[in-house]
Structures are given as structure tokens and as C-alpha cells.
């Protein structure tokens, strides 16, 4: 499913909500007067008009995860080893995955390629287990 880079909306659409995901997280909506909003997940927190909200803080458990096996060229699924955080299905969807060389002494790690959008992930309920990302 493809979405435009910008959705143009009219006054009031910035307050709409849904119980299911209707577009990619981070989708940009611009109103007629130039104000810009982003589509986001708000879990179960009730929102209040005029309030400012921030995203959940990043979880270091998802930094430097080990890739389980070399993937074939063109493969669209990779297996990673999770930290101790459990994952629900598609929790990482619309996020990004980047691949780096291992840290080299004295230099920093090198980015291999670009950022890849995560389409989905399987549930990993135990922590410290292998899970797949597509």
C-alpha cells in the first residue's frame, strides 16, 4: 500500500482518531493554513486538545542486536536476537532498521547501505529469543 508524502487535510481532521491503524506512523498532514501534523500511535492515553505529546523514549534493548545468519541477496526477512524486552506482533512496523559494521577500534562503526523500513515483525514473548523482521 502506497501513501503520498503529504496528506492535505481540512480544519478538524487533525483531531480524528481511530482504533485501528489507517496510515503509516509519521504520515504528514498539512492543513489549508499551513499547519502540519503527524499521524502517531497514542496507545490508551486520552488526548486533550491543545496539549503537547511526545513519543515514548527509545529502548536500548534494540541497539546492536545480533543478526542470526547471513541473508541471501534480495531476502526480505532477517532473524535477530532480542534483548530482554518482549515484542508484540508488528510492534516495530513502520520503524527503521540500519546495518553497521562491528565497532572498530579506534574508529567508529560504518553504516552499510541506507535505512530500511520495517514492514512487520513476529511476536517474541519471552525476551532473549530470536525473532524475524520483514
Encode pLDDT of 9-35 as tens digits: 999 998 888 888 888 888 899 999 999
All residue ranges of the chain with pLDDT < 70 are 1-3, 103-107, 127-128
Domain interval for residue 24: 1-56
Per-residue pLDDT, 31: 95
Same domain for 19 and 76? no
pLDDT recorded at residue 101: 77
Chosen domain end from 37, 56, 75 = 56
Do 91 and 64 lie in a common domain?
yes
In this predicted structure, what is the pLDDT of residue 35?
94
Identify the pLDDT of residue 66. 75
For residue 99, the tally of other CB atoms under 10 A from its CB is 14
Query: Distance between CA 120 and CA 88 in Å, rounded?
Result: 10
**Contacts by residues 46-50 (CB-CB < 8 Å, ≥ 24 positions apart):** 47/17, 49/15
Same domain, 1 and 51: yes
pLDDT of residue 96: 85
pLDDT of res. 8? 93
Q: What are phi and psi of 60, to 5 degrees?
A: -60, -15
CA 105 to CA 13: how far, in whole Å? 51
Sequence-ordered strand ranges (E) for the chain:
6-9, 28-31, 36-38, 78-81, 96-100, 111-117, 130-133
Distance CA 123, CA 113 (A): 27
Closest CA to 94 of 6, 7, 17, 22: 22
Q: Tell me, what's the pLDDT at 73?
A: 82
Does 61 share its domain with 116? yes
Which pTM does this prediction carry? 0.66
Q: Among 15, 30, 56, give the residue marking a domain's end.
A: 56
Q: Other CB atoms closer than 10 Å to residue 61's CB: what's the count?
A: 15
Amino acid at each position: 500500500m502506497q501513501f503520498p508524502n503529504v496528506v492535505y487535510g481540512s480544519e478538524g481532521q487533525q483531531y480524528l482518531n481511530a482504533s485501528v491503524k489507517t496510515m503509516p506512523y509519521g504520515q504528514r498532514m498539512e492543513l489549508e493554513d499551513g499547519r502540519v501534523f503527524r499521524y502517531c500511535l497514542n496507545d490508551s492515553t486520552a488526548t486533550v486538545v491543545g496539549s503537547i505529546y511526545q513519543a515514548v523514549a527509545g529502548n536500548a534493548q534494540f541497539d546492536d542486536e545480533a543478526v542470526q545468519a547471513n541473508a541471501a541477496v534480495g531476502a526480505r526477512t532477517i532473524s535477530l536476537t532480542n534483548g530482554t524486552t518482549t515484542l508484540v506482533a508488528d510492534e516495530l512496523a513502520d520503524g527503521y532498521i540500519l546495518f553497521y559494521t562491528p565497532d572498530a577500534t579506534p574508529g567508529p562503526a560504518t553504516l552499510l547501505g541506507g535505512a530500511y523500513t520495517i514492514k512487520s515483525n513476529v511476536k517474541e514473548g519471552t525476551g532473549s529469543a530470536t525473532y524475524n523482521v520483514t
